[in-house]
Amino acid sequence: MSIPLWFIWIAASMGGAGLILALMRAFLGPTTPDRLAAVDNMTTIILSLILITALIFGSSIYIDVGLVYAILSFIGVIVFARYLEGGP
């Protein structure tokens, strides 16, 4: 299956724009939960950019890296949310 190169570049540029907007929300967020949601959003966007990189280079190792990154970022967000909630 061949994906057109222009489609990949459009997807990557949209991901970059979304990453910039999420980064702005992470720095300017009025509350800490807003900032945490922005960081979670950034990890999702970065994961999609890692998968786009796997498409560009045609290497499956990036998919494995993306899976590990997704698991670690999910655990990190859950731990930080529990910390904000005041749980053990």
**pLDDT of the residue at 42:** 94
Query: Would you state the structure tokens that stand for residue 86, as one six-digit string?
Result: 């005041």
Answer whether 38's CB lies under 8 Å from 29's CB. Answer: yes
Instruction: State the pLDDT at residue 14.
Output: 95
Task: Tell me what the mean pLDDT of segment 19-34 comes to.
Answer: 93
Q: What confidence score (pLDDT) does residue 44 get?
A: 94
pLDDT band at residue 48 under the 50/70/90 scheme = very high
Q: Is the dihedral of CA 1, 6, 16, 57 positive or negative?
A: positive
What pTM did the predictor assign?
0.85
CA–CA dist 2, 46 (Å, integer) = 23
